[in-house]
Amino acid sequence: MKNREIAKILYEMADLLEIKGVEFKPRAYRRAAMNIESLGIDIEELYKRGELEKIPGVGKSIAEKIKEYLETGTIKKWEELKKEIPVDIESLSSIEGLGPKMIKILYEKLGVKNIDDLERVAKQGRIRRLKGFGVKTEKKILESIEFARKKQERFILGYILPEANKILENLKPYTSRISLAGSIRRRKETIGDMDILAVSPNPDLAMDMFVKMESVDKVLARGITKSSVRLNSGIQVDLRIVEEKSFGSALQYFTGSKEHNIELRKIAIKKGYKLNEYGLFEGEKQIAGESEEGVYEALGLQWIPPELRENRGEIEAAMNGKLPKIVEYNEIKGDLHTHTKWSDGANTIEEVVKEAIRRDYKFIAITDHAGNLKVAGGMDEEEIKEQAKEIERVRKKYDEIFILHGVEANITKDGKIDVSNNILKDLDIVIASVHSAFRMDEKEMTARLINAMENEYVNVIGHPTGRIIMKREPIKIDMEKVLDAAKEKNVFMEINAYPERLDLNDVNVKLAVEKGVKISIGTDAHTTGHLQYLELGTAVARRGWAKKEDVINTYDIKELMKILQ
Ligand code: DGT
Ligand code: CA
Ligand code: CA
Ligand code: ZN
């Protein structure tokens, strides 16, 4: 699947064009890239059907470039731009706060082409002398460089999962059993490599199909029981083929986590057994291993969902039959955070609603930016009233779904909501988020969030820590205090399901659930394609031990509207 690759190139072209000072085009390229990234189906399929221009934002010229890439493996215009502006955009834009405009100035004035150059000029104190930069920016850049360097090469779950599912689909005809394993099966927020496990009547053929997949960049190893490849997207995939009688124990072993496995093995030893990827053995005799359930059962444990296997108490709970019944993917009835053209989203309300209906949701919340977030096209109070009329119109047209009218409002520095209560009181759902002044000390920031929750109309704190995975650190807050306040004020904590956010994360969700704070899952969709990420939020809820009743997205409309009052 080349969707990600192509989107990445288009984003890079947008940045390069912007650096060149070309107008309008950068926006068009970005819009196309955003839609391709979240397309949901393989772009090559659309290409084969001659339907590239059906992708929103893809006109004739961009379609030509996609075609060129699929046919030749590159795009001439892109190569030219890179030659003309030899700047490592990808790594520079991974530095927080560094957008194309700043990269342009740094390149033109100081010759910065990569992170090493950037670090050098920052240390020399030359950035602060540039117009519009200053000492603070320079310091922030240095901090961000350090953060970026610390991260290892890991991949964002939400971007890898579609590729993984595609591989499973490709291999299905050649296998009798197949499953993801490792961190991707556990739905960890980032993935080191992708592990796949299968049983096959013809392992040689299955391996052939695997190493010859179109998305393979390089074959790292080719064997009968194990092969490894690197995909075009850069991620490594290991495929292991095992015997039917060992599938369960191999799946258990290769799902991990390592810490979970170590504890499990200790239990086996205590019982006088031996546990490995081939099975559970008593002496020479295999007593379990064909199914994963069988392995856990023989060890005296309930079967543990993969999302819980992090050695955070799940083994003890399973031993005592006290594993929580965590929320199921199909219990989620709708999305509680979406954007439309009324602020910075790409689609109309009606388009978002239609996609939600196609997904069989029972409800959808339209929550555009409101207040002073001008970059995100925040609505003023008149516009919110106008939008209410539009929602009313769409409601009349589609009675198979319930549309909640809400906003995502900003929490000001001192913890106020920047939309007046007079407006908030008429909305179905109010999300309040921190979108500015991220760098306050813990005490101030904690007070800021708690203040925001004092507002009686606030229902949800959006992306509560503001972190962006591998890019931006969370704001500093005393999570316990914030959660205690949330419980007291009946405010819900969001799991923002956008792939790079997943905020709250699993650990904080567990804490919230333990304190009785309810969770609201929202994709923060800025295009209809983003609605697919809802399941990532559910995965985080599951990893955080949340039960059905802890997640308000599982409620029916009546219960939901009642709890949102
Ligand atoms: P990743 O790929 O870094 O996101 O994390 P995992 O959990 O997928 O780790 P990976 O790919 O190195 O190994 C897959 C699974 O194999 C891992 O979750 C547990 C199992 N495993 C790997 N190494 C060991 C080990 O040394 N001891 C035990 N008990 N299990 C291991
Ligand atoms: Ca792995
Ligand atoms: Ca692996
Ligand atoms: Zn937001």
> Residue 182 CA: which ligand is closest?
1
Measured in angstroms, how far is the CA atom of residue 257 from the centroid of ligand 1?
A: 6
Q: Is 249 in the pocket of ligand 1 (CB under 6 A)?
A: no
158: burial class by Cβ within 10 Å (0-12, 13-18, 19+)? buried
**Two structure tokens written together for 173:** 């005809």
Tell me which residue has its CA closest to atom 10 in ligand 1: 182
Q: Is 191 in the pocket of ligand 1 (CB under 6 A)?
A: yes
Pairing of strands 190-191, 460-461: unpaired
Are 432 and 409 contacting, i.e. CB atoms less than 8 angstroms apart?
yes
pLDDT of residue 272: 97
Structural domains of the chain sorted by starting position, each given as residue range(s) with its CATH number in brackets: 3-150 (1.10.150.110), 155-241 (3.30.460.10), 246-319 (3.30.210.10), 329-564 (3.20.20.140)
Helix (H) or strand (E) holding 380: none
As beta bridge partners, residue 410 has: 433
8: burial class by Cβ within 10 Å (0-12, 13-18, 19+)? middle
Q: Is 183 in the pocket of ligand 1 (CB under 6 A)?
A: yes
pLDDT of residue 233: 87
- Cα–Cα nearest to 93, from 78, 114, 77, 119: 114
- Cα–Cα nearest to 445, from 486, 492, 487, 482: 482
pLDDT digits (tens, 9 = 90+) for 467-510: 999 888 899 999 999 999 999 999 999 999 999 999 999 999 99
pLDDT of residue 20: 87
Q: Is 18 in the pocket of ligand 1 (CB under 6 A)?
A: no
Of 180, 254, 255, 264, the residue with max ligand 1 atoms within 8 A of its CB, to mutate for a pocket test, comes to: 254
pLDDT of residue 269: 96
Tell me which residue has its CA closest to atom 26 in ligand 1: 258
Q: Is 306 in the pocket of ligand 1 (CB under 6 A)?
A: no
The amino acid at residue 204 is D
pLDDT digits (tens, 9 = 90+) for 381-407: 999 999 999 999 999 999 999 999 999
Respond yes or no on whether the N-terminal peptide bond of residue 504 is cis (omega within 30° of 0).
yes
Provide the 3-class DSSP secondary structure of residue 521. Answer: strand
Q: Is 266 in the pocket of ligand 1 (CB under 6 A)?
A: no
- Cα–Cα nearest to 551, from 325, 229, 306: 325
pLDDT of residue 512: 98
Q: Is 182 in the pocket of ligand 1 (CB under 6 A)?
A: yes
418: burial class by Cβ within 10 Å (0-12, 13-18, 19+)? middle
Q: Is 276 in the pocket of ligand 1 (CB under 6 A)?
A: no
**What is the gyration radius of the CA atoms in the chain, in angstroms?**
25
pLDDT of residue 374: 65
Residue 194 CA: nearest ligand 1 atom is 2
CA-CA distance, 481 to 377, in Å (whole number)? Answer: 32
pLDDT of residue 151: 61
Q: Rounded to the nearest 5°, which phi and psi values hold at 515? A: -90, 0
CA-CA distance, 286 to 280, in Å (whole number)? Answer: 6
Tell me which residue has its CA closest to atom 17 in ligand 1: 256
Which segments of the chain have a pLDDT < 50? Answer: none
Residue 188 CA: nearest ligand 1 atom is 4
pLDDT of residue 148: 75
pLDDT of residue 96: 79
Provide the 3-class DSSP secondary structure of residue 363. Answer: strand
Are 327 and 547 contacting, i.e. CB atoms less than 8 angstroms apart?
yes
Measured in angstroms, how far is the CA atom of residue 513 from the centroid of ligand 2?
A: 28
State what percent of residues in the chain have pLDDT above 90. Answer: 85
